[in-house]
Chains A and B, each alone.
Chain A
C-alpha cells in the first residue's frame, strides 16, 4: 500500500491479497481521510467497498469478486473490467460504474445509490431492489439482461438501453416476475410472452421521462456515448400491476 498524504490518494496492489485484508485496508484508509483509492491486480476479491460510508472514489483494475459494494454507503466505485455476481448487493448509497459487463443478480436488494453497466448483465438483475422516501436505487444497463430481470422488484428504476442489440430484440424471459414496485424502462423490443405475469406495459409519463433523461445523461457521461441519440428513440415502461402479487399464495 502506497499512500500519498498530501493528495490523499492511495494505491493498493491486490495481488494475492485476501478479501478480508483488502477490505480492512480500505476501511483504514477511508477512516484516515483518504479520498481516492486505486486498486490494481484485482482477481476475485469479494465485497470490495463494503460498509464504507464516505463519498470516496475507488478505482478497480481487474475482475472484482462477488458482492462488490455490498452494503456500501456513499463511495463511487469504478471498475475497469467486468464485475461478477451480486454487484451492489443491498447498497444504500453511492455509485458503481462498470466499464464492461456484470454477472448475475446485479443490484440485488439495492436500497439506494446508482449502478451503471456499460455492456450487459446476467440473470436476475435488479432482483428485489427497493425504495423508500428519497432512497431510489437506479440500475442502468447499456445493452441487455438475461432472464428474470427485475424479479420481485419492490422499488427503484431499472433501465435497459438496448445498445448494440442484435435485431433490436431483448431475449430475456420472465421479465419482472413478481414485480410489485418501481419501474423498468427499455429501448428495443420485448414480446408479450417474455414478460412475467405481474407486469403491465405503458407509455412513459412526463415524470418517467425526467428520470430517464437524468440517468441516461449520466450513463453517457461515464461511457462517452450519445445521450441525445439514445433518448430520441422509443422507450417503453414496464410497471407492476399489483401491490401484493402473492398475497393469497399461501392462504386459501
Chain B
C-alpha cells in the first residue's frame, strides 16, 4: 500500500484531511475551448485531493467522428486488449482505433494502456432496440465478462480521461491542453470508502453521461440493486457509478426532464411535500413511490453532463459545497469560488444554489436570469 504520509504530507502532520474537488465549465453557445482554464482551475484545488484519482470529461471532443460512438478503453494487459478488440469487431463496425496519446509524467506510476475506437452499430444489432441500448449492453458485457478491461466512456463526440494521480498530472499525462470542447468537467479525488485505482477515478460514464462527485452515497446498495434490474452492472467499485446509470435510465430511457430527476435523486423532505399545492404534491409523492430506490442518501455534490447539458446538483441539505459562476455564455460549477475566479475574475454572478435544486446549462439556450432562478427555486 502506498504510504500517503510520504506522498502527501511534506509538513508531517498527524492527519491529513481532504475533500474531493470538482469543476465544470460550459459555453452554452457551443464554442469549443481548450482545457487550459479547466486544468488551471482544478489545479488550484490541489489540496482537496490526495493524488489517488483525477479525471476529466470533454464534450464536443471529436467533431470529425461526431456521429459515431467514441470508446475510451483501459487495458491492464495485451491479452485484455486482444480479447476486447475481437469482441468489438464482432459486435460493432469499427471506423478507426488508436492508442490515446500520452506523455511520461512525474507522479503517474504504472499506467495501464489507453485506446480509443470510433464505432457504429451498423448491421450488427439483431434485436429491434435503440442503438444506445445496444451500446450500453455491450459496455456492460465488456466490463463484466472480459478480465482486466474497463470502458471509461462510450458516448458520441465526447470522452473521459482519468487515472491515479492528481488531476494536473492526469491532464499532463493525457496532453489535455491540446484538446478542445464546449463542456469540460474535472475531478480531484480523495478516496474515502473505496480504493484509489484507475477505474475508480472520476468521471464515471456510460454512453455520453458523465458524473463527477464529491461526497458519499450511503444508499449505494439499494441503488445498485434497483439499477441491476434494468441491466446496469456496477463494476468500478465506487459509489458514484450508480449515478451515471441512474441518469441514463431516468432521462434517456424513461424520458424524464432533469428537473424531475433531481426530485428523484434528492427528493424534498416529507414536511416540504406536505406544504406543496395539490398537483405538485401528488407528483412529488408519485416520484418517491415509483423511484424510491433511486433516492441518493448521504452527502453529495455532482456535476452531471451529457451531450448539450451540464447539471450541478447537491444533496437536499447541501452537505458538500457547490458554487456557481456565470460570465456571458459561460457557466462554471466548482467546489470553490476561487478556482472559478482564477480563470474568470470578473464574473457576472457568483452564488450557491439551494440544496437539491439543479443548476442547468443547456446548449443553445442563454443562462437563466436571476429572476428565473429565483422562480425555479434554485437561487
Interface residues, chain A, with chain B CB atoms under 8 Å away: 19-20, 42-44, 46, 62-66, 81-82, 84-85, 101, 103-104, 122-123, 146-148, 166, 171, 173-174, 193
Stretch at the interface among B230-238, B240-248, B254-262, B315-323: B315-323
Are A84's CB and B337's CB within 8 A?
yes
The B contact surface, by secondary structure, is mixed
The 0/1 profile, CB within 8 Å of A marked 1, for residues 1-29 of chain B is 00000000001000000000000000000
Q: How far is the CB of B278 from chain A (nearest CB, A)?
A: 18
Please determine whether B323 and A43 come into contact, CB atoms closer than 8 angstroms. Answer: no
Question: Are B350 and A101 closer than 8 Å at their CB atoms?
Answer: yes
**A123 contacts which chain B residues (CB < 8 A)?**
317-318, 352, 355
What distance in Å separates the Cβ of A83 from its nearest Cβ neighbour in chain B? 9
Contacting residues, chain A, for B350 (C-beta < 8 A): 82, 101
Known A46-B47, A123-B355, A166-B374; judge A104-B318 contact (CB<8 A). yes
Chain B CB count within 10 A is highest, among A44, A63, A64, for A44
**Knowing that A42-B338, A63-B338, A146-B355 are A-B contacts, what are 8 other residue pairs whose CB atoms are under 8 Å apart, sorted by A's residue number?**
A85-B321, A103-B352, A104-B318, A104-B321, A122-B352, A146-B354, A147-B354, A174-B317
Binding site for A on B (CB under 8 A): 11, 44-45, 47, 271-272, 275, 317-318, 321, 323, 336-339, 341-342, 350-352, 354-355, 374
In the complex, the chain B residue whose C-beta lies closest to that of A64 is: B338
Q: Which residues on the A side are within 8 Å of B318 (C-beta)?
A: 104, 122-123, 146-147
Smallest Cβ-Cβ distance to B269: which chain A residue: A173
Contact in complex: A147, B355 (CB < 8 Å): yes
Contact of A84 with B11 at beta-carbon distance under 8 Å, contacts A101-B350, A122-B352 already known: no
6 cross-chain CB contacts under 8 A: A43-B44, A84-B323, A84-B337, A103-B321, A104-B321, A193-B271
Which A residue's beta carbon lies closest to that of B274? A193
**Are A146 and B352 in contact, with the CB atoms below 8 A?**
yes
**B321 partner residues in chain A, CB cutoff 8 A:** 84-85, 103-104, 122
CA of A43 to CA of B344 in the docked complex: distance in angstroms?
Answer: 12
Given A44-B336, A122-B352: A62 and B341 interface contact (C-beta under 8 Å): yes
- Kindly list chain A residues whose C-beta atoms are within 8 Å of the C-beta of B317: 123, 147-148, 174
Min CB distance B15 to A, Å, is 16
Q: Among B47, B338, B342, B351, which residue has its beta carbon within 8 angstroms of that of A84?
A: B338
Q: Which residue of chain A is the closest to B338 with respect to CB atoms? A: A44
Q: What's the minimum C-beta distance from B24 to chain A, rounded to whole angstroms? A: 17
Most chain A CB within 10 A, of B271, B318, B337, B350, is at B337
| A129 vs B321: C-alpha distance when bound (angstroms) | 21
Closest to B40 in A: A43
Instruction: Enumerate the 5 nearest inter-chain pairs by beta-carbon distance, A residue then B residue, closest first.
Output: A44-B338, A63-B338, A43-B338, A122-B352, A63-B341
A50 to chain B, nearest CB (A): 14
Complex interface: chain A residues within 8 A of B352 (CB): 103-104, 122-123, 146
A205 to chain B, nearest CB (A): 31
**B residues near A81, Cβ cutoff 8 Å:** 341
CB distance from A118 to the nearest CB of B (A): 14
Pair A103/B11 contact, Cβ less than 8 Å: no
The CA-CA distance from A85 to B272 in the complex, in Å, is: 26
| Alpha-carbon distance A63/B350, docked complex (angstroms) | 12
| In contact, A66 and B336 (Cβ under 8 angstroms) | yes
> Contacts A46-B47, A146-B354: A65 and B275 contacting too (C-beta < 8 A)?
no
Is B275 within 8 A of A84, CB to CB? no
For B323, list chain A residues within 8 Å (CB): 84, 103
The answer to whether B355 and A84 have CB atoms under 8 Å apart is no
